[in-house]
């Protein structure tokens, strides 16, 4: 970063805010139209706004896996979009970014969307007792999480390995194979879907009047209400900061916003001109504001690094009738980039990234160099002088040494970006996503090369004219795969 000092003796707090499906163009400071994000914009004006920052993958699970482990997700089986009853995808013997920070004396917490599996065996979790493997096995002192996504069962919060507000009269059962006898589903009982109807999929168990992916039974008073998820997650994040104000802490705060089902609190309804998706962005901005206010109130602003980014690119219709497509107007969720969530095009992995560290990062600055989230691990370790085991974070580099970044699409197509070019490997996949979202995939059965300088929107394939460049990128893909 411009002016990033590297005093090794320091242990600044770290608040890592990870939005879900928030696109490059979805924030005021990145050109959003139709929704205001004053808190995020203020953060940007006090820090650096990156204009070429990338998630590793264009969906959640692999993107988050890379971020927390420093390993490319295609090197590890089972890192695709996880079911709500998937087993722990990061194994206890892996050294995570949380382990690294713990080794430097940090208190560590994960609050929010998890989506990296729980328990030691898929489908065998005891949701009514204590999970036999959880985030405490991979470096987090505290967790208050949703197992997967808000559109996947189980629809309950989990705190330190146990379901919050567990209701013994309504034991929880979860299956991703078959429904439980006598339980309604969105498919068979559309009359029970009163809050948000599906546009595709999302027609299995119904919770809070919304159809989900997967089947669940029970839950009772432990079931979440979608309209208070942001309140609940934010309150727990704030509480963790308060309780750890006197020692170095790391907070991984992964919001549910703006993933589907978008069903923000009543007070955000109509906050944007774009319906529920825009209102969810306003709600995200509110959560950010609460975190920033807390840091200020506790006098922690100066000694805290705040990073704000997203797990993958944006999508409008991702399976619910929330009118995201109809009401988007002139707003461009992906900003100037082609494609979106799931894509091999830049819209899949190009994400907003804001970093604030008063006195170390120049306020109101911009950083145009190419950055990958996977490099956060080693960059931070270097900054803090942390020793990491020789086999840990194998693919994480100090961002200053990173000449190119790797990107993975939904079908595992690998792309490489450097400051001059974008290369997409051949894929036999379809040109458009097939199951509902209207998104260009970027898949073609031949090499694609785009000039970053003259064609950032990836419209003219210049692979044939630049065989040597293509060969160089193919070599990188071979090496990294």
Which residues lie near Ca ion (CB under 5 A)?
20-21, 60, 311-312
The entry of Ca ion, ligand NG6, none near residue 318 (CB within 5 to 8 angstroms by kind) is ligand NG6
Task: Provide the Cα torsion 286, 289, 293, 296; round to 10°.
Answer: 170
Q: How far is the CB of 187 from ligand NG6 (least distance, A)?
A: 13
For residues 457 and 219, give the distance between their C-alpha atoms in angstroms, rounded to a whole number. Answer: 47
Nearest C-alpha neighbor of 213 from the set 268, 298, 153 = 153
Nearest C-alpha neighbor of 425 from the set 76, 52, 74, 77 = 74
Tracing tokens 């009982």 back to the chain, one arrives at 189
For residues 326 and 120, give the distance between their C-alpha atoms in angstroms, rounded to a whole number. Answer: 43
Q: How far is the CB of 278 from ligand NG6 (least distance, A)?
A: 18
What are the beta bridge partners of residue 408?
57, 414
For residues 7 and 25, give the distance between their C-alpha atoms in angstroms, rounded to a whole number. Answer: 34
Residue 137 vs 318, nearer CB to ligand NG6: 318
The entry of Ca ion, ligand NG6, none near residue 327 (CB within 5 to 8 angstroms by kind) is none
Residue 131 vs 258, nearer CB to Ca ion: 258
Residues of the shown chain interacting with ligand NG6 in the complex, contacts defined by CB under 6 A: 20-21, 59-60, 81, 115, 149, 151, 200-202, 213, 259-260, 312, 318-319, 435-436
Q: How far is the CB of 200 from ligand NG6 (least distance, A)?
A: 5
Q: How far is the CB of 311 from ligand NG6 (least distance, A)?
A: 6
The entry of ligand NG6, Ca ion, none near residue 149 (CB within 5 to 8 angstroms by kind) is ligand NG6
For residues 26 and 390, give the distance between their C-alpha atoms in angstroms, rounded to a whole number. Answer: 39
Nearest C-alpha neighbor of 312 from the set 137, 133, 61 = 61
The entry of Ca ion, ligand NG6, none near residue 80 (CB within 5 to 8 angstroms by kind) is none
**193 neighbors 210 (Cβ within 8 angstroms):** yes
- Residue 144 dihedral angles phi and psi, to the nearest 5°: -140, 100
Q: What six digits make up the tokens of 293?
A: 């206010």
Ramachandran quadrant class, 424 (left: phi over 0; alpha: psi -120 to 50; beta: rest): beta
Q: How far is the CB of 312 from Ca ion (least distance, A)?
A: 5
Q: What six digits make up the tokens of 474?
A: 């193919």
The entry of ligand NG6, Ca ion, none near residue 262 (CB within 5 to 8 angstroms by kind) is none
The entry of ligand NG6, Ca ion, none near residue 69 (CB within 5 to 8 angstroms by kind) is none
Residue 232 vs 312, nearer CB to Ca ion: 312
The entry of Ca ion, ligand NG6, none near residue 166 (CB within 5 to 8 angstroms by kind) is none
Residue 248 vs 442, nearer CB to ligand NG6: 442
The entry of Ca ion, ligand NG6, none near residue 435 (CB within 5 to 8 angstroms by kind) is ligand NG6
Q: How far is the CB of 178 from ligand NG6 (least distance, A)?
A: 17
> Length of the chain in residues, anyone?
481
Widest CA span in the chain: 68
Residue 259 vs 332, nearer CB to ligand NG6: 259
Residue 380 vs 408, nearer CB to ligand NG6: 408
Q: How far is the CB of 414 from ligand NG6 (least distance, A)?
A: 18
Q: How far is the CB of 346 from ligand NG6 (least distance, A)?
A: 17
The entry of Ca ion, ligand NG6, none near residue 52 (CB within 5 to 8 angstroms by kind) is none
Q: What six digits make up the tokens of 108?
A: 């560590």
- Start-to-end Cα distance in the chain: 28
Q: How far is the CB of 296 from Ca ion (least distance, A)?
A: 29
What is the H or E stretch that residue 477 is in?
helix 467-480
Residue 26 vs 99, nearer CB to ligand NG6: 26
Residue 87 vs 259, nearer CB to ligand NG6: 259
The entry of Ca ion, ligand NG6, none near residue 260 (CB within 5 to 8 angstroms by kind) is ligand NG6
For residues 276 and 107, give the distance between their C-alpha atoms in angstroms, rounded to a whole number. Answer: 35
Q: How far is the CB of 453 from Ca ion (least distance, A)?
A: 29
Residue 151 vs 311, nearer CB to Ca ion: 311
Nearest C-alpha neighbor of 22 from the set 214, 221, 254, 249 = 254
Q: How far is the CB of 410 from ligand NG6 (least distance, A)?
A: 8
Query: Would the CA dihedral through 72, 74, 78, 81 be positive or negative?
Result: positive
Residue 21 vs 395, nearer CB to Ca ion: 21
Residue 372 vs 469, nearer CB to Ca ion: 372
Residue 203 vs 311, nearer CB to Ca ion: 311
Cβ-based neighbours of 416, under 8 Å, separated by 6 or more: 404, 405, 406, 407, 422, 423, 473, 476, 477
HSE (side-chain half, CA atoms, 13 Å) at 257: 28
HSE (side-chain half, CA atoms, 13 Å) at 473: 27
Give the CB-nearest residue to ligand NG6.
Answer: 201
The entry of Ca ion, ligand NG6, none near residue 200 (CB within 5 to 8 angstroms by kind) is ligand NG6
Angle among Cα 365, 272, 346 to the nearest 5 degrees reads 50
The entry of ligand NG6, Ca ion, none near residue 81 (CB within 5 to 8 angstroms by kind) is ligand NG6
Q: How far is the CB of 388 from ligand NG6 (least distance, A)?
A: 28
């Amino acid at each position: 970063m411009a002016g990033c000092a590297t005093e090794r003796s320091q242990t600044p707090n770290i608040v890592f805010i990870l939005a879900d499906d928030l696109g490059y163009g979805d924030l005021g400071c990145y050109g959003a139209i139709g929704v205001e994000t004053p808190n995020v914009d203020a953060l940007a004006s006090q820090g650096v706004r990156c204009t070429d920052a990338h998630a590793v993958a264009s969906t959640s699970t692999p993107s988050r896996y890379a971020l927390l482990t420093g390993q490319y997700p295609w090197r590890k089986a089972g890192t695709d979009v996880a079911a709500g009853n998937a087993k722990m995808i990061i194994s206890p013997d892996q050294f995570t970014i949380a382990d690294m920070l713990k080794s430097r004396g940090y208190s560590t917490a994960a609050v929010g969307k998890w989506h990296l599996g729980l328990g030691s065996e898929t489908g065998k979790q005891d949701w009514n007792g204590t999970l036999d493997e959880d985030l405490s096995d991979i470096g987090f002192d505290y967790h208050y999480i949703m197992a997967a996504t808000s559109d996947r069962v189980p629809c309950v919060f989990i705190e330190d390995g146990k379901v919050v507000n567990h209701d013994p009269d309504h034991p929880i059962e979860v299956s991703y194979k078959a429904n439980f006898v006598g339980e309604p589903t969105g498919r068979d009982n559309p009359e029970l879907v009163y809050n948000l109807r599906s546009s595709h999929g999302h027609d299995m168990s119904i919770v809070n009047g919304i159809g989900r992916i997967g089947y669940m039974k029970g839950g009772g008073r432990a079931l979440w209400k979608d309209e208070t998820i942001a309140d609940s997650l934010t309150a727990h994040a704030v509480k963790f900061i308060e309780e750890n104000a006197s020692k170095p802490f790391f907070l991984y705060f992964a919001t549910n916003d703006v993933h589907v089902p978008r069903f923000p609190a009543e007070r955000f309804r109509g906050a944007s001109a774009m319906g529920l998706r825009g209102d969810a962005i306003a709600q995200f901005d509110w959560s950010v504001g609460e975190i920033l206010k807390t840091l200020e109130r506790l006098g922690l602003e100066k000694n805290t690094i705040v990073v704000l980014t997203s797990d993958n690119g944006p999508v409008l219709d991702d399976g619910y009738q929330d009118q995201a497509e109809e009401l988007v107007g002139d707003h461009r969720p992906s900003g100037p980039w082609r494609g979106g969530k799931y894509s091999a095009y830049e819209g899949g992995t190009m994400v907003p990234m804001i970093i604030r560290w008063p006195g170390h990062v120049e306020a109101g600055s911009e950083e145009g160099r190419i950055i990958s989230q996977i490099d956060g691990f080693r960059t931070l370790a270097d900054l803090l002088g942390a020793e990491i085991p020789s086999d840990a974070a194998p693919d994480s580099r100090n961002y200053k040494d990173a000449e190119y970044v790797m990107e993975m699409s939904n079908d595992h197509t690998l792309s490489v970006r450097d400051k001059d070019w974008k290369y997409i490997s051949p894929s036999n996949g379809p040109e458009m996503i097939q199951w509902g979202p209207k998104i260009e995939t970027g898949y073609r059965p031949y090499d694609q090369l785009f000039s970053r300088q003259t064609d950032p929107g990836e419209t003219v394939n210049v692979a044939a004219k630049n065989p040597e460049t293509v060969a160089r990128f193919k070599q990188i893909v071979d090496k990294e795969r």
